[in-house]
Structure 1
Amino acid sequence: MAQCLLWLGLALLGALHTQAQDSTSTLVPAPPLRNVPRQPHFQDDQFQGKWYVLGLAGNEINKEKHRQFKVYTTTYKLNEDYTYSYNVTSTLAWNLNCSHWFRTFDRTSFPGLYTLGNIEWYTGIQRYVLRVASTDYKKFAMVFFKKIVKQQAYFTVALYGRTIELTPELKENFTSFVKSMGLRDEHIIFSIPIDECMDK
């Protein structure tokens, strides 16, 4: 049960570990990391704190299948060891409880680019990276996730907000951004607002 919940948390973070709908050949190809925008002059300390996950888009996401996707929180906290890695906690409503998932993302030599620090916990994942593509630190962020599983690349983009409100402008900007990566409307989902677990 714990392993199942752990995988669910990873999936909600944009690293869905399911089979492609038909076969991997039908997946939208994951863009090379060099083609993914990155936030100029990324500020680790300003990015930390609580974010609400307002939207997800990815080559394994299916709007019909994930239509009951509920908003959840992800909190980034800089490690106190001055390595500028993050301890990350996600909290969401699950089976009438508030479930928590903990991960570490280690900073690389490139600002705004991180690797999953405890990757050995996730069987089959060969590589997993996070890049902050765009943020104003105070209202929104778009975060790109890419994982390699059995030589197949999967990617997800998460839309974060500092509040639970999803404005039409933010929704439009996110949609345009992920479509520029080859994703289509059926690959994009927006969360259902809820009150449970938002302040846990």
Structure 2
Amino acid sequence: MRSRVVLLFAVLFLGTGAAVPLRETNHSRVQENFDFNQTLGQWFSIGSAGDSLWFETLMGTSRMIKFILSATEETNKFKAILVHEWNGTCINMTVYYEYLESQQMFKYIPVPGYDAHIAIQVGLIQYQEFAFLIYDSQIQGRKTKSVALYGRTRKLRTEINEQFKEFVLRQGIPEEMIMFLPDKGSCSGNDDIWSTGRR
């Protein structure tokens, strides 16, 4: 269960319980003129921040995850293949998302039997460099809010990390709940090639 929560928190368009009502999602936070297709390709989880007590259990133990976003045959639906390390072994995991264009949000599609529904907004994005994502989630009846930083490469400019901190603070999450994920092990990959991931 813990590994699944870590992965869901880290994945682009990558949190989780009953669905968060749409009225609780603040659409004023989203990136204007968002282009879904430009998000496809390779990303790395760089930083995370959350307002939940369970987030504290992840601090100091989480690490960078590499994943590839690609389109599916269904309109506005895509999949993310995550590559992560668990007990010394590299594991691939596939998760699915739907982009609700009229509501300017993404929706995590939970696996059968897993109570995980997440509303996701793109707060800020530079398609070939980084993205800030906002998660409004409900995990087993507990509502949480989190923000994640993703990069096209495993290391981003210092200015972007500082901008992420400022963005997190504006969401009402305290600075001590911000963490930057270490690049440990071979599972995050050694290549920084930007792949489109288009089918």
Q: Is the 8 A contact 2:76 2:100 kept in 1?
A: no
Q: Distance in 2 between matches of 1:174 and 1:162?
A: 15
AA in 1 matched with 2:36: D
Aligned residues: 181
Q: How far is 1:121 from its partner?
A: 3.6
> Under a length normalisation based on structure 1, what TM-score does the superposition of the two structures give?
0.78
Match of 2:7 in 1: 9
AA in 1 matched with 2:166: S
Segments of structure 2 that go 5 or more residues without pairing to the other structure are 18-22, 191-199
Match of 1:181 in 2: 171
Q: Distance in 1 between matches of 2:35 and 2:103?
A: 8
Structure 2 residue 71 is matched with structure 1 residue 73: no
Q: Is the 8 A contact 1:69 1:189 kept in 2?
A: no
Which structure has more relative contact order (CA 8 Å, sep 6+)? It is: 2
Q: Decide which of 88, 112, 119 is 1:129's aligned counterpart.
A: 119
SS at match of 2:32: coil
Q: How far is 1:112 from its partner?
A: 4.8
Q: CA, structure 1 residues 171+45, in 2 after alignment: closer, same or farther (shift >3 Å)?
A: same
Structure 2 residue 40 is matched with structure 1 residue 48: yes
Structure 2 residue 94 is matched with structure 1 residue 102: yes
Match of 1:21 in 2: none
SS at match of 2:101: coil
Which structure 1 residue ranges, 4+ long, deviate > 6 Å from structure 2? none
Q: Distance in 2 between matches of 1:89 and 1:118?
A: 15
Q: Decide which of 114, 139, 142 is 1:152's aligned counterpart.
A: 142
Q: Decide which of 129, 132, 140 is 1:139's aligned counterpart.
A: 129
> Under a length normalisation based on structure 2, what TM-score does the superposition of the two structures give?
0.79
Q: Is the 8 A contact 1:91 1:98 kept in 2?
A: yes
Q: Distance in 2 between matches of 1:112 and 1:74?
A: 23
Moved more, 133-142 or 152-161: 152-161
Give % identity: 20
SS at match of 1:177: helix
AA in 1 matched with 2:144: Y
AA in 2 matched with 1:161: G
Q: Distance in 1 between matches of 2:104 and 2:112?
A: 22
Q: Distance in 2 between matches of 1:65 and 1:164?
A: 20
Q: Is the 8 A contact 2:45 2:65 kept in 1?
A: yes
Segments of structure 1 that go 5 or more residues without pairing to the other structure are 18-30
Q: Distance in 1 between matches of 2:154 and 2:103?
A: 27
Q: How far is 1:6 from its partner?
A: 3.2
SS at match of 2:164: helix
